[in-house]
A and B are shown apart, each in its own frame.
Chain A
Amino acid sequence: MSARRDDRRVVITGIGVVAPGGIGAKQYWELLTAGRTATRTISLFNAADFRSRVAAEVDFDPVRSGLSRREIRRWDRTTQFAVVAAREALADSGALGEFDAHRTGVMVGTACGMTTSLDREYAVVSDEGRTWQVDAEHGVPYLYDYFLPSSMAAELAWLADAQGPVGVLSTGCTSGIDVVGHAADIIRDGAADVMISGASDAAISPITVACFDAIKATSPRNDSPETASRPFDRTRNGFVLGEGAAIFVMEELGHALRRGAHLYAEVSGHATRSNAYSMTGLRSDGAELAEAIRQAMARARIDASDVDYVNAHGSATRQNDLHETAAFKLGLGEHAYRTPISSIKSMIGHSLGAICSLEVAASALAIEHSVIPPTANLHEPDPDCDLDYVPLVAREQNTDVVLSVASGFGGFQSAIVLTKPERRAA
């Protein structure tokens, strides 16, 4: 809890991804830069009776992903995703077993935790909703691990042998940005040198689909699932539920340099603000998101004109797209019109808490490869969204500074700045 120490900088040195369209960061980046979509008709359960029957599902075979039978039986899919992504991130960092356990922590984000297991198990113990007085004899032994999303953080801690600060951060749909910002703060404060951080959600289950149906937030474009997620397009009609995980190895810069780690990106600045307006709604002026953007840039010590690429929230609800466009204009000024902006939710849907970490991964990979992933399905730009939303095709472009933003239920408005490591090291 020491004072923020500006001499302690934080870099991403390992990336692991479980995403619709591919397991692993490499496959993920190929999908994004090809502009392919991974949205489809829901297959994880029979969704015939629901309003929106489209989702971006992960083709996940836990056995092929290296999980044991015991792990598969015990862990909710959200935890399974997180562990598989964390293993990849740790291997990618080249430091497996090298970290000082006492100086390593875990901070993982989620919006829905183990909702899928809770949904399924509730049906078992309640005789499919017939008894309020649930049956104490039935139900799996893991219910408390499902109740408590921090059980996922514990699994990652045991995996990485992390004995520093460990926990879960949730800010709903901005969790994946805020958890990375929080983990970076923990490193800057000196409480850890290494954080395993990121977010996971796998909540494509009846209760989740039903609750978004109830507020008409998800797209009912059931006849064209591959093109259902259309951020910034005039024909958009809601978001497409997704699932996935992205986990990072984050290190104090000196720590990473001393062991010769590959540096993907520096986590240079983060801020979150609340709109204090509505649990689901957004004020049209985008003022709070713009303020988060300004604060994140100030912490990163960059100007709006330094931003090379903006990874948008772009959820494909009309309310969001207008709110976000206003926030960019307010937060970035004239530079908003000159900066390429894209939404990868067009390809991999909106995986609630996880998506922002998947977006941070995409932002880090954009810096790594100097390529900006496109906004798929953007054929008819909404005239009210008059910024450069990079339609359909990826762009090769020197990308040193990326801003990634998100808005979520609860009123959370978040922004994070990633920079090419050499930029500030110089």
Chain B
Amino acid sequence: MSTFTLDELVRVLRESAGEEEGVDLEGDILDVPFDDLGYDSLALLNTVIGIQQAVGVTLPDDIVSQELTPRLLLDLVNGHIARPAAGKA
């Protein structure tokens, strides 16, 4: 598996959590907290399930936090793709 990209994240977000009106997911969202993009923790938990299915790794329980941004999430996911065993803790 290669790296998990922002485009793929946006696709999973739309499918798993929908899209908030007035938010442009095509815009510059890398450093915008998910909260500001209209996603609550439940939406992120469902997004994480979608990402796990897409990339085939298990992500840690505590991955969802209030400060999480798309950039941080992508880093975390790609970190786990590089070392898949770490996610199984």
Q: Kindly supply a per-residue 1/0 record for chain A positions 205-216, scoring 1 wherever the CB is within 8 Å of any chain B CB and 0 otherwise.
A: 000000000111
Q: Is the CB of A281 within 8 A of B40?
A: yes
| Per-residue interface assignment for chain B, residues 42 to 57, with 1 indicating a CB less than 8 Å from any chain A CB and 0 otherwise | 1001100100000000
Please name the residue on chain A nearest to B46 by beta carbon.
Answer: A214
B61–A220 contact, CB under 8 A? yes
Contact (Cβ within 8 A) B61 A280: no
Q: Chain B's interface: helix, strand, loop or mixed, by majority? A: helix
Question: Which residues 102-118 of A sit at the B interface, judged by CB distance below 8 A?
Answer: none
Q: Collect the chain B residues with CB atoms within 8 Å of residue A220's CB.
A: 61
Tally B residues with Cβ within 8 Å of A.
7
Contact with B along A181-224 (1 / 0, CB 8 A): 00000000000000000000000000000000011100010000
Q: How many positions in chain A have a CB within 8 Å of any CB in the partner chain?
A: 9
Cα distance, A28 to B64, chains bound together (Å): 39
Instruction: For B45, list chain A residues within 8 Å (CB).
Output: 214-216
Shortest A254–chain B CB gap in Å is: 48
Which partner residue on chain A sits nearest B45 by CB separation? A215
Residue of A nearest to B62 (CB): A216
Chain A residues with CB under 8 Å of B42's CB are 215, 278-281
User: Closest Cβ of chain B: how far from A217's Cβ, in Å?
Assistant: 10
Complex Cα spacing A279 to B40, Å: 11
Q: Which A362-409 residues have a C-beta within 8 angstroms of B? A: none
Tell me the smallest distance from the CB of B69 to a CB of chain A, in Å. Answer: 20
8 A Cβ contacts from B22-62 to A: 40-42, 45-46, 49, 61
A51, closest chain B residue (CB)? B61
Q: Compute the total of residue contacts between A and B using a CB distance below 8 Å.
A: 16
A206 to B40, alpha carbons, bound, how many Å? 26
Query: B46 to chain A: which residues have CB within 8 Å?
Result: 214
A220 — nearest CB in chain B belongs to which residue? B61
B29 to chain A, nearest CB (A): 23
A220 to B60, CA, bound (A): 13
| Best-buried of A51, A216, A220 by chain B (most CB within 10 Å) | A216
> Across the interface, which residues of A come within 8 angstroms of B40, CB to CB?
278, 281
In the complex, residue of chain A having the shortest beta-carbon distance to the beta carbon of B48: A214
A280 to B41 Cα, complex, angstroms? 10
| Residues of A246-291 contacting chain B, CB below 8 A | 278-281
A53 to B: closest C-beta gap in Å: 14
Complex Cα spacing A278 to B40, Å: 9
**In the complex, A281 Cα to B41 Cα: how many Å?**
9
CA–CA, A51 to B46, complex, Å? 16
Q: Say whether A216 contacts B61, CB under 8 Å.
A: yes
Give the residues in chain B near A279, CB-CB below 8 Å.
42
B49 touches which of A214, A280, A281 (Cβ 8 Å): A214
User: Which chain A residue shows the least CB distance to B64?
Assistant: A216
Residues of B within 8 A of A281 (CB): 40-42
A213: min CB distance to chain B, Å: 10
Query: Which residues of chain B have C-beta atoms less than 8 A from A214's C-beta?
Result: 45-46, 49
Task: Please measure, in the bound complex, the distance between the C-alpha atom of A51 and the C-alpha atom of B89, giving whole angstroms.
Answer: 11
Collect the chain B residues with CB atoms within 8 Å of residue A215's CB: 42, 45
Contacts of B41 in A (CB 8 A): 281
Q: A308 to nearest B CB, angstroms?
A: 37
Residue of A whose beta carbon sits closest to that of B63: A216
Q: Which residues of chain B are within 8 angstroms of A216 by Cβ–Cβ distance? A: 45, 61
In the complex, which residue of chain B has the Cβ closest to the Cβ of A238?
B61
Most chain A beta-carbon contacts within 10 A, residue among B46, B49, B61: B61
Report B4-18 residues with CB < 8 Å from chain A CB.
Answer: none
Chain A contacts with B in 72-102, Cβ cutoff 8 A: none
Inter-chain CA distance A279–B45, complex, in Å, is 14
Q: Give the docked Cα–Cα distance between A51 and B49 (Å).
A: 13
Residues in B whose Cβ lies below 8 Å from that of A280:
42
Alpha-carbon gap, A383 to B49, bound state (A): 33
Which residue from chain B places its CB closest to the CB of A215 in the assembled complex? B45
How far is it, in angstroms, between the C-alpha of A278 and the C-alpha of B42 when the chains are bound?
Answer: 9
- 14 A-B pairs besides A214-B45, A280-B42 with CB distance below 8 A are A51-B61, A214-B46, A214-B49, A215-B42, A215-B45, A216-B45, A216-B61, A220-B61, A278-B40, A278-B42, A279-B42, A281-B40, A281-B41, A281-B42
Which residues from chain B sit less than 8 Å from chain A, CB to CB? 40-42, 45-46, 49, 61
16 interchain pairs, CB-CB under 8 A: A51-B61, A214-B45, A214-B46, A214-B49, A215-B42, A215-B45, A216-B45, A216-B61, A220-B61, A278-B40, A278-B42, A279-B42, A280-B42, A281-B40, A281-B41, A281-B42
What are the 9 closest A-B residue pairs judged by CB atoms, nearest first?
A215-B45, A216-B61, A280-B42, A214-B49, A215-B42, A214-B45, A278-B40, A216-B45, A281-B40
